[in-house]
Structures are given as structure tokens and as C-alpha cells.
Structure 1
Amino acid sequence: MELTLIQKIAVFALPVIFAITLHEAAHGYVARYFGDMTAAAAGRISANPLKHIDPVGTILVPLVILLTSKLLGGGAILFGWAKPVPVNFGRLRRPKQDMLWVAAAGPGVNLVMAVFWALMIQLGHALGSGFASAPLMLMGAAGVFINVILMALNLIPLPPLDGGRIAVSLLPVKQAMQFARLEPYGLFILLGLMFTGILGIILWPLISLFIGLTALLTGLEPAQLVGLIQLVLS
């Protein structure tokens, strides 16, 4: 069975939108918890996707990747972004220490959502041959895949990615200040890694690890989960 482009869009639409938008909302929520009200004042601590959707990053880029992946026979890494939630790290009660938790909140929510979508696969399996079974399992596979990708990508220790902020939080002050100076160049470094193929070499082992972790946490057979993901990507 091979999905058409329309079927792929239908399967990926909700998982992509919520994976990206809830990731951003989580940063704002944790920032508020640790004393920074910037995101709250901007109305960005919300599960409403309309408050976070970036027309290019949330819709156009994933759509183009799906289209080109379909034309080229699959294998592309699906990703996107939402409008960044504003966080003023200087307003956190302990800026350097609390930065870690604000940064980790996004990937942490992606792990929770990966588990949720894996449980949807379990539910679809439990429904047997019912009308909703196959769509639910396919959407679940898409949800697991997009969330583990966002988790893996954002944990790369490169500012301004979440992993870069976590590294800045954990490094000694002098080294943290030097490392943080990479932030203006982080996007260009990331693009360079992507176009040279190094990004894929870094990401795929992490993606496989997180898929295995998701399967372990939800009682799915890893081979079953990987098979479903391959199906939605084919």
C-alpha cells in the first residue's frame, strides 16, 4: 500500500501542526513558571495553533518536503517551525540554571506527544478492521515520526536550538559565554550541515533511538512502529 500525496497531507496535517505549536507553547509555559511573563503577556501560552502557526515554517515547508519526498521516492527528513515564543532569559529567577528547563520543555513535550500518537496506534489496532482503524494507525505513525524528528533536531547542541541553550546552561560561565556567541551563525551552520548530508548522519541514529524509546514506553513492537512509519513515508 502506498499513500497518495493527498492521503499523506491528511495523515500528517494534525500531527505536524500540534508537534510544532505545542513545542513552542511549552517554552512559554515553563518560562512563566520560572518568572518570565513575556510569552504570557503576548498571549502565546496557548494550545491554539492559530497563535503559533508560521505560514512558511508550519505549512509551506512541511508541504514542500512531503511533495519533493514523494517525487524523489521518500527518505527526506520532515521538519518545520512555528513562530518562536518570546522568552526573556534575563527575567528568569535564575537565568543560567532556569534556561535549561525552558529549553528542555519543547523536546520534552515532543516526547509526550510521540507517546500519545503511539497510543493512538494501539487504539487503532484494538479497533480491528473498523473504518477508523487504518487512518488512526497511520496518523499515529506520522505523529510519532514528526515528534521524534523535532525532538532529535532541537537537542543538537547548537544555539539557538534547544540543545544549544541546554549546553549554555550546563557549561561553566566563561565557556558558556563563548559558546553562546555562535547563536547568530547557528542557522547557517545548520543549513551547512543539512546540505552536506552531515545533519542526516547525526539525526538518524537519534531518531531511531527515540522511536525505540517510544515503542518501549507504549508496548509497541519496534518493528511494527518502524513499518508503519515507513508506510506513511513511502
Structure 2
Amino acid sequence: MEEKIIQALILIIPLLMAVTLHEVAHGYAAWMFGDPTAKLAGRLTLNPVRHLDPFGSLILPGLLIFSGSPAIFGYAKPVPVNFRNLRDPKLGTIVVSAAGVGVNFACALAAGLVYQIIAPFAGDSTIFLLAARLVYGFCIISVVLGVFNLLPIPPLDGSHILSALLPPGARQKYEQIGTFGVLILLVLLMTRSLDFLITAVISPLVRFFTGG
């Protein structure tokens, strides 16, 4: 049980960091394209408390960890974006939506490099071992967030990218499933219907970043 709690902390702490960076990236991208909504709301901050969603940041990942799910996923409160303020609504929507994913993959690369540096010392020091586990966890979480957010399921980023690319009629019909998006994603995760992403995409990317 003690190891389970340690494992949960090693995953939840990096998760809070990853979702915070993810949301801040969205806000900065929107600001660069002319929408100051997130900045005015005080959401361009690395303070995770400002971004926490009780269910998405704590309850959902906790349920997945203790249920033995191979994929640990979570989310923060979306930063407010007024897409009508964007100088180029179509391109801006795509860039803003992709910004969080891009930052997650950049974090995975950085974490993987740090892990490769400190992993050889993990057997000689408890501190290095804990640091290696935290960094490895951050790499995994960053890859998972990056990959899962590309799924075209509302409200994930992939759905906004796809919506921006669809013609108006198809876009309107597609966006109608948004109300059920979180429920659809939760069911897919809990029933392990997305396990193929772990074996085909996530695991190879983690091995690549960490030199495994």
C-alpha cells in the first residue's frame, strides 16, 4: 500500500506540472494571436493551484492509478480563450489548440534527457532514485497528455483542430457531441479501449525519449 501511495505521488506531481504547462501554453498562444482573455484572467501563471480541476487533476488520475489502468490521464481547467479575438481565427484556433500538445512533447524530450543523465546514479543514492522516478514519470505523463490530447474527442485539443478544419455544416454537427466528450473519454479509459495507443505510440515514444 505504501508503494502504491508513493507511485501515486510520483505520477500526480508530474501530472500537475504537465497540465499546468499545457494550459499556460494555450494561453500564451492565444495572447500571441491577439486574445488577452487568459492573461486578463490571471491564467498565464505556473502556479498549479490556478489551473486545478478537482475531478480532472485529482479524482480522475487517482481513479485510474488505483484501478490499475495502464494509462494515467488528467486535465486542468481550460484557460479561457475567445477565439473571435484571434487575428486569424482558423490558423489561430489550430495553433492555440496544438500549443499544449507541443509543450508536452517538448517537456517529454527534456525529461527524457535529464533521466538519461541521472539514471546511472539511481542505484547509489535514494535521492537520485527518487529524482529519476519523478523525471521518468514526468516524461510518461507528458507523452500521454500529448498523445491523448490529439484524439478528436471534445474537449480534447484534437477536437478543436479537427473542428477548425471542417466545413461549417459538418463542424456544427461535430461540435454537438461536445457535451458527452468527457463521458466518452472516461468510458474509453476505464474499459481500456485505448490500450492500442499505449503499445503502438506511447510506449515507443517514452523509450525513445528516455533512451530505453
So what's the TM-score if we normalise by structure 1? 0.80
Cα separation, 1, equivalents of 2:27 and 2:61: 24
Q: Is the 8 A contact 1:124 1:132 kept in 2?
A: no
So what's the TM-score if we normalise by structure 2? 0.87
1:199 pairs with one of 194, 197, 200: 194
1:167 pairs with one of 158, 162, 166: 162
Q: Is the 8 A contact 1:120 1:136 kept in 2?
A: no
Q: Which runs of 4+ in 1 moved over 4 A?
A: none
**Once the two structures are aligned, what percentage of the paired residues are identical?**
36
- Report the CA distance shift for 1:82/1:163 in structure 2 as closer, same or farther (over 3 A): same
CA positional deviation for 1:42: 0.5
Q: What is the aligned partner in structure 2 of residue 32 from structure 1?
A: 31
CA positional deviation for 1:175: 3.7
Q: What is the aligned partner in structure 1 of residue 63 from structure 2?
A: 64
Give the aligned residue type for 1:150: L
Cα separation, 2, equivalents of 1:112 and 1:63: 25
Q: What is the aligned partner in structure 2 of residue 232 from structure 1?
A: none
Q: What is the aligned partner in structure 2 of residue 145 from structure 1?
A: 140
1:100-119 to 2 correspondence within 5 Å? 100-119=94-113
Q: Which shows bigger deviation, 37-46 or 108-117?
A: 108-117
Cα separation, 2, equivalents of 1:76 and 1:46: 31
Cα separation, 2, equivalents of 1:55 and 1:48: 15
Q: What is the aligned partner in structure 2 of residue 185 from structure 1?
A: 180
CA positional deviation for 1:66: 2.2
CA positional deviation for 1:154: 0.5
Residue-pair matches, total:
211
Cα separation, 2, equivalents of 1:181 and 1:56: 23
Q: What is the aligned partner in structure 2 of residue 226 from structure 1?
A: none
Q: CA RMSD in A?
A: 2.3
Give the aligned residue type for 1:15: P
CA positional deviation for 1:172: 4.0
Alignment deviations for residues 109-168 of structure 1 (CA, whole Å, 9 cap, x no partner): 111111222123123135462342211211122111111111111101223210111112
CA positional deviation for 1:174: 4.3
Q: What is the aligned partner in structure 1 of residue 125 from structure 2?
A: 130
Could you list the runs of 5+ residues in structure 1 that have no partner in the other structure? 70-74, 223-234
Q: What is the aligned partner in structure 2 of residue 8 from structure 1?
A: 7
Give the aligned residue type for 2:44: I
Q: What is the aligned partner in structure 1 of residue 43 from structure 2?
A: 44
Cα separation, 2, equivalents of 1:3 and 1:147: 25
Cα separation, 2, equivalents of 1:42 and 1:67: 34
